[in-house]
Amino acid sequence: MLGLVKPQPVEEPLHPPARNVRASQGHVEIVDVSIEFGTGDKAHVAVSETSVDVPPGEFVCILGPSGCGKSTLLNTIAGYVQPTTGAAMVDGEVVAGPGPDRGMVFQQYSLFPWKTVKENVAFGPNILGRGRTASNSTAQTFIEMVGLAKFANRYPAELSGGMQQRVGIARALANYPRVLLMDEPFGALDSQTRHMMQENLLKIWSEFGITVLFVTHDIDEAVFLGDRVLVMSASPGRIIADIRVDLPRPRSLDLAVDERFMRLKRLCHEKIKAESLRAFEQQNA
Ligand code: ADP
Ligand code: MG
């Protein structure tokens, strides 16, 4: 069996971008959003009366127990789910459906396996009619930004999970979205790779300057990454705490032993503990 295991390429450190590119930063508002699935006896409120204001350029983490409605809330901003009441807005415009102004990164890498890294990243700009040369040049810029220049002509199956997810991030950014929506993007990675990806993401965010909404159920991840952590209650999901993370940037893994980091984690933990218990009891009722 061992002979069949493919050697994994070694993770490359993040390189600075070759060209100075900046994002346009979207202002995200969620106004009195409730989301109900099904009707009658089968009706289920996934998100209940939630309002959030995310200023341009902010990095906001949405933290909550499994099944509390994090993905559903993110999907209303992405335009995949229409709220039952209220509205999601980007730069004052009500979100009516999916669009390239909102980039999405999921836990599953969802790359085209038959396309190279470069072709995957150039796909969005190509579809948007930017032309082949411009699309390839944009792809190259973002491939360099995520530190994969040497792998531009490889296929996804030739890359490690962390590298595939970097391609996913490059692909989302290549459309120059106003907002980056990330749904547990590092959930499938081993802890070493996850930590490296978190640091990489912060570097990309500080260089590119985009508004980020990042969903996670991991307290360490939320506090390490965010300017703010929004803690959601168990189903039906509501935001029960809005915690400002006043830790200095740039952040590195040295924060793990920082007293302020631990205090913020404890605060999130306290908020989420009762909710996790309630979610567990609901699921086992
Ligand atoms: P989280 O991302 O926090 O784990 P989700 O947003 O995926 O939670 O789901 C919240 C709740 O809404 C869950 O109870 C889930 O089963 C339900 N739900 C999510 N999407 C749908 C759907 N399309 N139809 C019916 N129920 C759904
Ligand atoms: Mg989810």
Q: What is the pLDDT of residues 133-143, one digit of tens each?
A: 999 999 999 99
CB 174 within 8 A of CB 121: yes
Among the bound ligands, name the one nearest to the CA of residue 283.
Answer: 1
Q: Which residues surround ligand 2, an ion (CB under 5 A)?
A: 71
| Domain boundaries along the sequence of the chain | 8-101+179-285, 111-176
Q: What is the mean pLDDT of residues 104-132?
A: 94
CB 58 within 8 A of CB 225: no
Q: Using the mean position of ligand 2's atoms as its centre, give its distance from the Cα of residue 142 in Å.
A: 27
Q: Ligand 1 within 6 A of 74 CB? A: no
pLDDT at 20: 65
pLDDT tens sequence across 31-64: 999 999 998 888 999 999 999 999 999 999 999 9
Q: Rounded to whole angstroms, how far apart are CA atoms 69 and 285?
A: 19
- Binned at pLDDT 50, 70 and 90, residue 2 comes out as very low
Q: What is the mean pLDDT of the chain?
A: 91
Q: Rounded to whole angstroms, how far apart are CA atoms 273 and 277?
A: 6
CB atoms within 10 A of CB 111: 22
Q: What is the mean pLDDT of residues 211-227?
A: 97
pLDDT at 273: 84
Q: Is 60 exceeded by the pLDDT of residue 4?
A: no
Q: Rounded to whole angstroms, how far apart are CA atoms 106 and 125?
A: 19
Measure Cα distances from 62 to 218, 263, 281 in Å: 10, 18, 22
Q: Ligand 1 within 6 A of 187 CB? A: no
Q: Is 90 exceeded by the pLDDT of residue 121?
A: yes
pLDDT at 276: 73
* Most ligand 1 atoms within 8 A of CB, residue of 35, 37, 63 to mutate: 37
CATH architecture assignment, domain 8-101+179-285: 3-Layer(aba) Sandwich (3.40)
pLDDT at 3: 47
CB atoms within 10 A of CB 117: 28
pLDDT at 14: 54
Q: What is the pTM of this model?
A: 0.92
* CA nearest ligand 1 atom 7, residue: 71
